Amino acid sequence: MTNIATISFFASFVGIIGMISVKYFELKTGKKLWFALLVQRHDNMVHKAYSGVRKFFSYFNKHNAILFIQWIIVSILSWIRSFYIWVRAKAHAHPPSKKVIDMVRGKGNIVNNGGASFYLKKISEDGKEIIK
């Protein structure tokens, strides 16, 4: 079984040895390799991008980070609420689904002559007489 930490360490070690050997070759011959010229040409762009990202994140402190996260959450919840309102309006457009929604919410007509057994009806009537 291979270990990821061992592989990454070995890859880093090979990279370091490679950089040292390239630098040794450049110092010995006095010529720059194409990779070094490419890096030298684009070094200022990388430096500007790094400083821009660092400046952008330096404006965030704990308070601003909390506000930013709250703004994201409010945006998501407002989208979910508008979706819920749209679905509810679609459901209320059809009478059978409106009746089901009202039953789930506990609204609607209550029928006193429900489907209780004769035994339960007798018990409930007897209980009313005792309480009176």
Q: Is residue 123 part of a domain?
A: no
Number of structural domains found in the chain: 2
Looking at the structure, tell me whether residues 67 and 19 fall in a common domain. Answer: no
Q: Which of 68, 69, 101 is nearest to 87 (CA)?
A: 101
Q: pLDDT tier at 2 (50, 70, 90 boundaries)?
A: low
Q: pLDDT tier at 132 (50, 70, 90 boundaries)?
A: very low
Looking at the structure, tell me whether residues 55 and 66 fall in a common domain. Answer: no
- Chain segment 15-40, per-residue pLDDT in tens: 999 999 988 988 899 888 887 788 88
Alpha helices in 30-117 (DSSP H): 34-58, 62-92, 95-105
Q: Is residue 121 part of a domain?
A: no
Looking at the structure, tell me whether residues 49 and 2 fall in a common domain. Answer: yes
Measured CA to CA, the distance from residue 1 to residue 86 in angstroms comes to 53
Q: Is residue 115 part of a domain?
A: no
Q: Is residue 10 part of a domain?
A: yes
Are residues 35 and 22 in contact, defined by beta-carbon separation less than 8 angstroms?
yes
- Chain segment 45-100, per-residue pLDDT in tens: 989 999 998 888 777 777 787 888 899 999 999 999 999 999 888 877 777 777 77
Looking at the structure, tell me whether residues 66 and 93 fall in a common domain. Answer: yes
Q: By residue range, what is the domain housing residue 42?
A: 1-59
